[in-house]
Amino acid sequence: MSNMRKGRPQGGAMGAADPKALGRAVKKLFEYYPVMAPLTMFCILFSSVVSSIPSLFVQNVLAVIEKWYLSGDWASAKAEIIPYITLLAVLYVLSLISMTAYTQLMAYMTQGYLDKLRREMFDDMQDLPISYFDTHQHGDIMSHYTNDIDTLRMLISQSLPTLIQSGAIVLVVLAIMLYFSVWMTLILLAGVVLMFFVAKRFGGGSARYFVKQQRSVADTEGFVQEMMNGQKVIKVFCHEEQSIENFDRINDKLCDDSFKAHTYAGILGPIIGNIGNILYVVLALVGGVLLLTGQVLTGDHSCGHAACSILVYDPAVFDGRVIVDADTEIMDRKAAQNEYFHRDFHSSMNMGIEYIGEHYGLAGVKEFLTKYTEHVYKPVIAAMKANGLSALRAKIEDTYRKEKATDVLTFEQDANSLHVAVRECPAVRHLHDTGRIVSKWYRYTTEYVMAALAEQGGFRFTMEAYDEATGAASYRFEAE
């Protein structure tokens, strides 16, 4: 209002970008609503913090599942998981209540804020000298009540809550990341710094032209209103062509400013998004490198989750050790030293093949298992091409030896064929022993895998028999 009294135009209701203007606008909101505004801010902060912590609950639940997975004691696992789920549900309900409260309060305050501001601005304008109205177009003055007030509507109802919410989420997530991994957080912050400079470069251009756009809007509205009010004078003095030329000039400037403002704004989003994607890949690669060093984090977190957010690499030491806290157990251990875990893979394969079969049918199962065999068993296929069926027999024997089930195998081999008889499938037995239902599609993990091996190795494959109950099977490989 003081700017109006001094006779300074606001430049189409908007002068140069002034950081203090945001502070004044927020200050007035708290002046108008000294109780409601702080309550709304608290609701926004609470909902933001709650929305940032589900990953911690997921991590704890995964740790519980990992703890009881091998024993299959799901009753004990349930007793530990239920409290986490209950607490998370309570927090979500409270967050939903706070979100509902702050959206309703913000809607009420926004309309009241704009109403009070219009009244205050109108009362202040009554004290302006006549010279102010003589030196400013009516449309320019009216734009204070239309464009500027509408801009404040967006600030109070959307931009301010989003700013508070995003700021709270960033701080909470940053604290969580620092808790898990200082070095991984530093990598992420380096990407954030890059995003900041890019946003400053393109966002600054966007802000500059949005200011110019607001000025051009005010000039256009003022010109149109003046021309409409003085239309008779224009007709009398035959100034139609000159008015049209002036309008085209003002309208073209508005078009140019608007185009540049939205061009910068449109460019910023994809650039920031792609920097974020690159940063995600970099973090994933760093986590993968840590896993390839052979280090495994044991304790409260699963290895898969650790690959993303918990493994920490200390470049000052360069021994591949994991650094988290004093209670973390470190294992310098190679994969070859571990007990054979293939039996636990059977349950995952059983669930996966059930999903594929139910959603994509037999054709989908065959496509998946064929591609799976071609990629996973590349060394076996190469050995078959070099050494024939003896290489395939060695692979089958090695698998059953690791399963500690060599007694269920019988081979009949000659120069051109290999016959395999399996009295009982150890995978099916493991699924039964752990209380799981064997998928009706599980038989194809034998049939289609062996068929793909035969095809890639240059042999014919025949599935002679398969027992759904025990997984007992009989199949033959023959030279082409």
Q: Predicted confidence band at 474 (pLDDT cuts at 50, 70, 90)?
A: very high
**Residue 31: per-residue pLDDT:** 87
DSSP three-state, residue 460: strand
Q: Are 128 and 4 in contact (CB under 8 A)?
A: yes
Of the spans 13-22, 97-106, 183-192, 316-325, which averages the highest pLDDT? 97-106
Please tell me whether the overall predicted TM-score, pTM, comes out greater than 0.85 for this model. no
**Residue 205: per-residue pLDDT:** 67
Residues 6+ apart with CB under 8 A from 392: 380, 383, 384, 418, 453, 457, 477
Distance of CA 360 to the CA centre of its chain: 27
Distances (CA, A) of 18 to 23, 101, 163, 199, 243: 10, 32, 18, 18, 34
Burial (0-12, 13-18, 19+ Cβ within 10 Å), 282: middle
Of the spans 103-107, 197-201, 226-230, 255-259, which averages the highest pLDDT? 103-107
**Residue 322: per-residue pLDDT:** 37
- Indicate if the pLDDT at residue 419 is higher than 90: yes
Q: Which H or E element spans position 247?
A: helix 240-292
Share of the chain above pLDDT 90, in %: 8
Distances (CA, A) of 27 to 33, 38, 61, 374, 473: 10, 12, 44, 66, 79
Which of 397, 353, 377 shows the shortest CA–CA distance to 454? 377
Q: Predicted confidence band at 29 (pLDDT cuts at 50, 70, 90)?
A: confident
Average pLDDT, the chain: 76
Between residues 21 and 156, which one has the greater pLDDT? 156
Q: Are 464 and 413 in contact (CB under 8 A)?
A: no
Q: Amino acid letter at 376?
A: V
Q: Render pLDDT for 329-358 as a digit per residue (tens, 0 to 9).
A: 444 444 444 454 455 678 888 888 888 888
* Mean pLDDT along residues 225-243: 79
- Indicate if the pLDDT at residue 162 is higher than 60: yes
Q: Give the Cα separation of 443 and 454 in Å (integer).
A: 17
Q: Give the Cα separation of 87 and 92 in Å (integer).
A: 9
* Mean pLDDT along residues 9-18: 43
- Indicate if the pLDDT at residue 456 is higher than 60: yes
**Residue 317: per-residue pLDDT:** 33
- Indicate if the pLDDT at residue 298 is higher than 80: no
409-413 and 417-422 strand pairing? antiparallel
Q: Give the Cα separation of 458 and 422 in Å (integer).
A: 23
Q: Predicted confidence band at 319 (pLDDT cuts at 50, 70, 90)?
A: very low
**Residue 472: per-residue pLDDT:** 92
- Indicate if the pLDDT at residue 100 is higher than 60: yes
- Indicate if the pLDDT at residue 388 is higher than 50: yes
Distances (CA, A) of 127 to 7, 10, 131, 132, 143: 11, 17, 12, 10, 19
Q: Give the Cα separation of 278 and 362 in Å (integer).
A: 37
Q: Predicted confidence band at 188 (pLDDT cuts at 50, 70, 90)?
A: confident
Measured over the CA atoms of residue 168, residue 172, residue 177 and residue 183, the dihedral's sign is positive
Between residues 76 and 41, which one has the greater pLDDT? 41
Q: Give the Cα separation of 133 and 286 in Å (integer).
A: 65
Q: Predicted confidence band at 184 (pLDDT cuts at 50, 70, 90)?
A: confident
**Residue 314: per-residue pLDDT:** 33
* Mean pLDDT along residues 170-189: 78
Which of 110, 94, 211, 98 shows the shortest CA–CA distance to 160? 110
Structure tokens at 311: 């493994």
- Indicate if the pLDDT at residue 97 is higher than 80: yes
**Residue 149: per-residue pLDDT:** 77
Q: Predicted confidence band at 3 (pLDDT cuts at 50, 70, 90)?
A: very low
Share of the chain above pLDDT 70, in %: 80
Q: Give the Cα separation of 473 and 422 in Å (integer).
A: 5
